[in-house]
Structure 1
Amino acid sequence: MSRVNTVLGPVPAEELGVVAVHEHVGYGMPGSELDTRWWKTPEQRYEETVPKLRTFHEYGGGTFVDATGICNGRDVDYYKSLSAKTGVHIVACTGFVGGDTALPFFARASVDYLFRQFVHEITVGIAGTGARAGVIKVGVSRGGRMTDLDKRIYRAAARAALSTGVPILTHLAIDAENAVDIFEQEGLPLDRVLFGHVDDGVNAGKTRDTWIIEQGGRLGFDTFGYETELEDPPFWARPRKERLDHFLRFVKGGHADKVLASADANCSPLGWPGVKGHTVNYIFEVLIPDLRDNGVDEATITKLFVDNPADFLTIRS
């Protein structure tokens, strides 16, 4: 039977339901938990987070993939509690958002050391919690080109994905040529990689999205809701219609089986204010109605939010 690692244990992929494939319970840069300006008590974090996840579950959401990674506020015991309270499956990740978010201890690590770190978190558990990671996070550091550390992380992730069967999710899809080269050198099938943030307002024009699909990769349109129409939009915002049209070009252009969507929202951001009003529930409140209004049928919507994520997250032996 197909299975996916969640923080409360493996579950059959068929039970994931609607999946938000790239989200954050709480994301922050290393040390953000020490910043008194944005510091939050556990009670405050629960107050912000539980209603969002409960609403997600009430809408029909089944699984929330937390793409936070090592050094950026990952708290797996907290995730376990949230999952038990809300009924939402939570998938935690190993890996890093990017080499520039890795603390010096990891920044000096070899490919083999990083590989063993990732494999341990996938097969044994994260930080003594017993909860196993279900996806590996990798990313391109600020500047838009992979650093040497990024390349070591990507290579270690490819080896860990092959060893354990879990997939890889990337932060940004820019510099995809280097990524694809590493994955192909390591023998990792590219359908095990979701190239994320192809739709963000900063990098969409620089991302070789069609080329990635031609190589066999998957595309993550996962910054839905970060719109220039917001009262105080973030720098990576994009006009709502422009992003939707970008997504629809692939959905209606014969690639519906290769694309996934999410909101990349923070339930309770760490060390920064977050984006007011933006939550994972944008998927149900805006995105899915927009897709229906633009002629996307229910079978395709199910493929995008149920079938594709289940296939992607399934552990491959």
Structure 2
Amino acid sequence: MGTIPAEELGIVAVHEHIGYGMPGSELDEKWWKTPEERYAETVPKLRQFHEYGGGTIVDATGICNGRDVDYYKSLSKKTGVHIVACTGFVGGDTALPHFARASVAYLASVFVHEITVGIGDTGSRAGVIKVGVSRGGRMTELDKRIYRAAARASVATGVPILTHLAIDPAPAIRIFNEEGLPLDRVLFGHADDGLNAENTPSEWIMSQGGRIGFDTFGYETELPDPPFWARPRKERLDHFLDLIAKGHLNRLLASADANCSPLGWPGVKGHTVNYIFEDLMPDLRNAGVDEADIKTLFVDNPAEFLSISA
């Protein structure tokens, strides 16, 4: 809907998806939902988010994965929730051949255009750049090209970078350093999921200047049909609390990585962005985290991260 002053972002869910699907998911006759079905499923979740006090959702859905900015604009008008759209890719393995074959310079130009001019003909601009590690747990050569292009676009525009996974971070940090990108402009995401947490050197990343996203809260092994990246609720919370206790509060951001309406796959029942208000914040309070620190996690840190740097 336009540029948002940082002080008006409010409580931020920094890594979510209005809708997400792999390329070609619209051809899946079993799980694909009509626009009307998706709208009916999404509006109540965003309205509840707003009623709980939520101000902003960062939609981390990249190019080729169901990003629909006109849809976001309609939802924002309907619910009062700010939605920050992204440019970039969830990972190299989600980039269609046109982009997978492209040079760093071309990819950077696409990202810069979507940030400074707009996404397609929507008139809306991206506020964050998405990059990610492809399947397999190691950055591919395509991933590295995308990360380098994202770094150049971030330096040129002042818009931050949000990553899918924080495993194999050394090549990413090397690329960001080579491109002159301050690492506090990068949020290394999914550091908390059950599949990758043990292989994510969160404290080392923060020692290099990066930010860490505990953004899969709610994907718990206690769910009736947990996904493969689920993690025991207490284990994730204890991990998060341990990092806070070690003095990393200002480097941490939290979210639920929920899909308001998954595209081309069934999704996870019982998990929404509102886990942040219904479960996570009460868990933090019960563990002794005070209101000032909760504000730091969900208001101050996201506002600082999302601010467009000069």
Deviation at 1:39, TM superposition (A): 1.9
Distance (Å, rounded) in 2 between the aligned partners of 1:87 and 1:34: 32
Distance (Å, rounded) in 1 between the aligned partners of 2:92 and 2:146: 7
Query: 1:278 — aligned with what?
Result: 271
Deviation at 1:71, TM superposition (A): 0.3
For 1:89-168, what aligned pairs fall within 5 Å after superposition?
89-168=82-161
1:75-105 deviations in Å (ceiling 9; x for gaps): 0000000000000000000000000000000
Deviation at 1:59, TM superposition (A): 0.0
Do structure 1's residue 9 and structure 2's residue 2 form an aligned pair? yes
Deviation at 1:127, TM superposition (A): 1.2
Distance (Å, rounded) in 2 between the aligned partners of 1:273 and 1:260: 27
Query: 2:187 — aligned with what?
Result: 194
Question: How many residues are matched?
Answer: 310
Do structure 1's residue 255 and structure 2's residue 248 form an aligned pair? yes
Deviation at 1:41, TM superposition (A): 1.2
Distance (Å, rounded) in 2 between the aligned partners of 1:29 and 1:41: 16
TM-score (norm 1): 0.97
Residue identity matched to 2:236: R
2:282 to 276, 289, 293: 289
Residue identity matched to 2:53: G
Distance (Å, rounded) in 2 between the aligned partners of 1:26 and 1:246: 28
Do structure 1's residue 65 and structure 2's residue 81 form an aligned pair? no
2:206 to 204, 208, 213: 213
Do structure 1's residue 82 and structure 2's residue 82 form an aligned pair? no
Distance (Å, rounded) in 1 between the aligned partners of 2:139 and 2:268: 27
Distance (Å, rounded) in 2 between the aligned partners of 1:109 and 1:229: 42
Distance (Å, rounded) in 1 between the aligned partners of 2:261 and 2:4: 26
Deviation at 1:110, TM superposition (A): 0.1
Deviation at 1:36, TM superposition (A): 1.1
1:27 to 16, 20, 24: 20
Distance (Å, rounded) in 1 between the aligned partners of 2:160 and 2:274: 24
Distance (Å, rounded) in 2 between the aligned partners of 1:253 and 1:82: 39
| 2:43–2:75 CA contact under 8 A, matched in 1 | yes
Residue identity matched to 2:139: M
1:11-42 deviations in Å (ceiling 9; x for gaps): 11000000000000011100101211112111
Secondary structure class of the residue paired with 2:134:
coil
Residue identity matched to 2:100: A
Deviation at 1:253, TM superposition (A): 1.5
Distance (Å, rounded) in 2 between the aligned partners of 1:102 and 1:19: 27
Residue identity matched to 1:82: L
Distance (Å, rounded) in 2 between the aligned partners of 1:225 and 1:39: 24
Distance (Å, rounded) in 2 between the aligned partners of 1:159 and 1:26: 27
Do structure 1's residue 235 and structure 2's residue 242 form an aligned pair? no
| 2:33–2:264 CA contact under 8 A, matched in 1 | no
Query: 2:47 — aligned with what?
Result: 54
Aligned alpha-carbon RMSD (Å): 0.5
| 2:253–2:298 CA contact under 8 A, matched in 1 | yes
Residue identity matched to 2:191: V
> Identity rate of aligned residues, in percent?
80
TM-score (norm 2): 1.00
Distance (Å, rounded) in 1 between the aligned partners of 2:33 and 2:266: 11
Secondary structure class of the residue paired with 2:57:
strand
Distance (Å, rounded) in 1 between the aligned partners of 2:7 and 2:100: 38
Distance (Å, rounded) in 1 between the aligned partners of 2:59 and 2:160: 14
